[in-house]
Amino acid sequence: MTDLEHTSDSALVPKDWTYAPAPEARDIVTLAERYGHFVGGEWIDAAETYTTISPATEEPLAEVGQATPAEVEQAVTAARAAFDDGWSSVSPSERAKYLFRIARVLQERAREFAVLESLNGGKPIKESRDVDLPLAAAHFFYYAGWADKLEYAFPNQRPRPIGVAGQIIPWNFPLLMLAWKIAPALAAGNTVVLKPAETTPLTALLFCDVLRQAELPPGVVNIVTGDGSTGAAIVTAGGVDKIAFTGSTEVGKAIQRELAGTGKKLTLELGGKAANIIFDDAALDQAVEGIVNGIYFNQGHVCCAGSRLLVQESIYEPVVDKLKRRLATLRVGDPLDKNSDVGAINSKQQLEKIRELVAAGEEEGAEIYQAPCRLPEKGYWFAPTVFTNVAQSYRIAQEEIFGPVLSILTFRTPDEAVEKANNTPYGLSAGVWTEKGSRILWMAERLRAGVVWANTYNRFDPSSPFGGYKESGFGREGGRHGLEPYLQLDESEAFGG
Amino acid sequence: MARLPVKKTYKLFIGGAFPRSESGRTYEAEGQNVARASRKDARDAVRAARAAFPKWAAMTAYNRGQVLYRTAEMVEARTAEFAELCSGRDEVERSVDRVVWYAGWADKFAQVIGSSNPVAGPYFNFTVPEPTGVVATLAPDEPPLLGLVTRIAPALTGGNAVVVVASETHPLAAIELAEALATSDVPGGVVNILTGHREELAPWLAAHMDVNAIDLAGADGSAPDLERAAADNVKRVVRGRADAQSPWEIAAFVELKTVWHPVGR
């Protein structure tokens, strides 16, 4: 590492970029051998279980419950009882203080949660440490402050809680999605039954200990684990008044169909195929960093990932060259290593889906480039990938891959960029890179997407509403708007009830 | 001998024109032969709405407010005719006042519904409402004029284009409204009105992949089936009331867009 050499620019750089391993200590996390469901403030035994693993090593971590409809019903009953017996009558300012407590405990135990998140989900520790955990705590802190100010957020609408919220979350940001769901639900005065994703249940289960430390009344938050059948049981449970789902568009549509005619409120945060648009006057080095962050952040397991790169024709070659060079410096490996930029693919099933779509891309005629990197032998891995020579009709330009795979297309004029960017049933997010301010706003007006990042990408904040247009779902999470799905309001006939 | 009056032919309103149904069918309602729109007429109406949407959505809010106000003027001028087709003068006046009320919201609701967001970082961040797109509206049967106006005014104020299935039993007020709209400044295709059998038209609109939202105000017992069909493209389902007036009615027909930009020297 100390060997330096002079390059043509006479700058001193290390001869090679290999890093010594810097693993985060794992012993901060203590796992039980077996977990049940957290219902009514207590652990109940799970009738059926499955093994949850580390996707980086395939090592078994714990046995967790596969909740049956009867167990889901038990959780819903506990949530209903907690709502009726007191939570809805806890004074709003006291409700706020419980949420502030949860935020603080999460901050205090951030390192433990970050390690467990990376262990169970495969994401690099620097992301779980610097993004997932701080944002999860911030969400609780943000919504805590709303709990006793709802009349100011919804004047003349008599805001009041709905009842029991059923919440089903994905595996890409397990604890953060839990925070996005639970924080606004509790701030609005509801009680919750939440199901973490099948492959990433452990931080949600550890979160139950945070609830104990915060002394949240029993039954206000109930956590059941399991696969899609458990989620379906939550959707159809009679005692649930509102469903919030984050996941695939396919499952989202099935839930919308299932709830047809029931009058239950629904919010959906679904898939995306975002365009990240680079104009010829963009600051190229920054844009390339933005492209990398847009698609390789969290292995591309991001619904708003910038998976379609639209490059203005005149700068196509330099952008692709710089991008390929940058790809070669991405460190793919042990999620618990503090130097890792890209971790493990979350599950075998997801790895197979990525492989299938990448194979389709090659078959349809796109040109593949993968960063030279050595992938670990065990576990689920996929090298950061770029496709050039991509037509809009190719599956890799149409379908959500949810992996570290970028499809590059080109455009000539701003109008063409808008047309291509909007040419998808999705509408979750988009990126624009240009130094021309008026063009940023012109583009932002025309992109049919719920979030537009200009000269940045993949930024999140609890005060900033997030959610999709078109088949990317409806309803917003974050900000004042994120409270609305969890409230009954006078004179509000907004979609979903 | 008394003069024989010239009677009106009741037709559809699609893309700013008044075609008969392509199917050549009519049905009798309120003592008149009224066009009985087909599935193909519904498709044509959606295409007209989609084509008209970008211009209407891109109009300045001030301008859209003035165009809506102009429609109130046109309805007011026809008060006597409308009064014959609904419960009377009072309903017409309430309808006019409702349009005027929403016209005044056009350049204000973004300030109530949108926000500037204090994110924890060097970014400027704001959220603005934007129209959902093409809205299919099943008009309620009662009140014939006010119910229809109540449902389409907030969608139009939000910048959407609408395809209306008029009340099957009381379609004449809807056709009269189409004629008032045609003489106002609302661009052709922004409002399209179909008359006919609701059960024949509603399922196609609910399942149409280029319709972004559906207002089930007049859906009756078929609502669950329509909601199920609406899931095919994740439509926004609005369960509208026949008599409501609030900025949150506009909010039901808008999307929220959040824009981030770094702050730096």
ipTM: 0.95
Mean pLDDT value across residues B222-243? 96
What is the rounded average pLDDT for all residues in chain A?
95
For residue A2, what pLDDT band results from cuts at 50, 70 and 90? very low
Q: What is the pLDDT of residues B241-265, one digit of tens each?
A: 999 999 999 999 999 999 999 999 8
Are A241 and A345 members of one domain?
no
pLDDT of res. A425: 97
Chain A interface, best mutation among B135, B160, B239, B256, by max A CB count within 10 A: B256
Assess whether pLDDT exceeds 90 at residue A12.
Answer: no
For residue B167, what pLDDT band results from cuts at 50, 70 and 90? very high
pLDDT of res. A491: 67
Residues in A touching B244 (Cβ below 8 Å)? 491, 493
Assess whether pLDDT exceeds 90 at residue B221.
Answer: no
Would A7 be classed as within a structural domain?
no
Q: What is the 3-class SS of B18-70, one letter each residue?
A: CCCCCCCCEEEECCEEEECCCHHHHHHHHHHHHHHHHHHHHCCHHHHHHHHHH
Q: What is the pLDDT of residues B30-78, one digit of tens each?
A: 999 999 999 999 999 999 999 999 999 999 999 999 999 999 999 999 9
State the pairing for strand pair A37-39/A42-44.
antiparallel
Are A347 and A408 members of one domain?
yes
pLDDT of res. A89: 80
Mean pLDDT value across residues B135-152? 98
CA distance B62 to chain A (A): 17
Domain extent at residue A113: 37-270+471-488
Q: What residues does each domain of chain B span?
A: 26-262
Residue A385 CA to residue A323 CA, distance in Å, equals: 11
Assess whether pLDDT exceeds 50 at residue A496.
Answer: no
pLDDT of res. A13: 57
Cβ distance A249 to B234 less than 8 Å, yes or no, reads yes
Q: What is the dihedral of CA A242, A246, A247, A249, to 10 degrees?
A: 70
Would A225 be classed as within a structural domain?
yes
Which residue, B191, B97, B194, B208, is CA-closest to B146? B97
Are A283 and A346 members of one domain?
yes
pLDDT of res. A490: 87
Are A285 and A391 members of one domain?
yes
Which residue, A42, A43, A60, A59, is CA-closest to A51? A60
Which residues from B are below 8 Å from A when comparing CB atoms?
58, 115, 117-121, 123, 125, 127, 132, 212-213, 223-225, 227-228, 230-234, 236-241, 244, 246, 248-249, 251-252, 255-262
Assess whether pLDDT exceeds 80 at residue B1.
Answer: no
Are A157 and A240 members of one domain?
yes
Would A183 be classed as within a structural domain?
yes
Q: What is the 3-class SS of chain B, one letter each residue?
A: CCCCCCCCCECCEECCECCCCCCCCEEEECCEEEECCCHHHHHHHHHHHHHHHHHHHHCCHHHHHHHHHHHHHHHHHCHHHHHHHCCCHHHHHHHHHHHHHHHHHCCCHHHHHCEECCCCCCEEEEEEEEECCEEEEECCCCCHHHHHHHHHHHHHHCCCEEEEECCCCCCHHHHHHHHHHHCCCCCCCCEEEECCCHHHHHHHHHHCCCCCEEECCCCHHHHHHHHHHHHHHCCEEECCCCCCCCHHHHHCCEEEEEEEEECCC
Are A354 and A428 members of one domain?
yes
Residue A119's CATH number? 3.40.605.10
Assess whether pLDDT exceeds 80 at residue A7.
Answer: no
State the pairing for strand pair A405-411/A385-388.
parallel
pLDDT of res. A156: 87
Would A497 be classed as within a structural domain?
no
Distance spanning both ends of chain B, measured CA to CA: 86
- A with B: how many residue pairs have Cβ under 8 Å apart? 134
For residue A16, what pLDDT band results from cuts at 50, 70 and 90? low
Assess whether pLDDT exceeds 80 at residue B2.
Answer: yes
Q: What is the pLDDT of residues A248-257, one digit of tens each?
A: 999 999 999 9
Q: What is the pLDDT of residues A131-151, one digit of tens each?
A: 999 999 999 999 999 999 999
Assess whether pLDDT exceeds 90 at residue B234.
Answer: yes
Q: What is the pLDDT of residues B84-116, one digit of tens each?
A: 999 999 999 999 999 999 999 999 999 999 999
Q: What is the fold of B26-262? A: Aldehyde Dehydrogenase; Chain A, domain 1 (3.40.605)
Are A253 and A331 members of one domain?
no
Q: What is the pLDDT of residues B180-217, one digit of tens each?
A: 999 999 999 999 999 999 999 999 999 999 999 999 99
Assess whether pLDDT exceeds 60 at residue A492.
Answer: no
Chain B interface, best mutation among A469, A471, A480, by max B CB count within 10 A: A469
Of B115, B224, B237, the CB nearest to A480: B115
For residue A14, what pLDDT band results from cuts at 50, 70 and 90? low
For residue A277, what pLDDT band results from cuts at 50, 70 and 90? very high
Assess whether pLDDT exceeds 60 at residue A3.
Answer: no
Assess whether pLDDT exceeds 50 at residue A223.
Answer: yes
Q: What is the pLDDT of residues A136-193, one digit of tens each?
A: 999 999 999 999 999 999 988 999 999 999 999 999 999 999 999 999 999 999 999 9
For residue A11, what pLDDT band results from cuts at 50, 70 and 90? low
What is the rounded average pLDDT for all residues in chain B?
97
CA distance A195 to chain B (A): 23
Are A199 and A284 members of one domain?
no
pLDDT of res. A105: 98
Of B244, B261, B262, the CB nearest to A493: B244
Mean pLDDT value across residues A113-132? 98
Residue A320 CA to residue A322 CA, distance in Å, equals: 6
pLDDT of res. A494: 40
Are A428 and A476 members of one domain?
no
Assess whether pLDDT exceeds 50 at residue A102.
Answer: yes
Would A83 be classed as within a structural domain?
yes
For residue A1, what pLDDT band results from cuts at 50, 70 and 90? very low
Among residues A117, A127, A269, A471, the one annotated as catalytic is A269
Would A25 be classed as within a structural domain?
no
CA distance A170 to chain B (A): 19
Would A367 be classed as within a structural domain?
yes
Residue A429's CATH number? 3.40.309.10
Mean pLDDT value across residues B176-180? 98
Mean pLDDT value across residues B147-161? 98
Residues in A touching B227 (Cβ below 8 Å)? 256, 259-261
Please tell me the total count of domains within chain A: 2
Assess whether pLDDT exceeds 60 at residue A279.
Answer: yes
pLDDT of res. A371: 84
Mean pLDDT value across residues A325-334? 94
Residue A442 CA to residue A453 CA, distance in Å, equals: 13
Assess whether pLDDT exceeds 70 at residue A391.
Answer: yes
For residue A15, what pLDDT band results from cuts at 50, 70 and 90? low
Are A434 and A475 members of one domain?
no
Contact A407, A275 (CB under 8 A): no
Residues in A touching B206 (Cβ below 8 Å)? none
Mean pLDDT value across residues A461-488? 98
Assess whether pLDDT exceeds 60 at residue A324.
Answer: yes
Whether A303 is catalytic: yes
Cβ distance B234 to A480 less than 8 Å, yes or no, reads no
Would A326 be classed as within a structural domain?
yes
Lowest mean pLDDT among A58-72, A404-418, A481-495, B172-186: A481-495
Assess whether pLDDT exceeds 50 at residue B154.
Answer: yes
Which residue, B236, B219, B232, B205, is CA-closest to B44? B205
Whether A269 is catalytic: yes
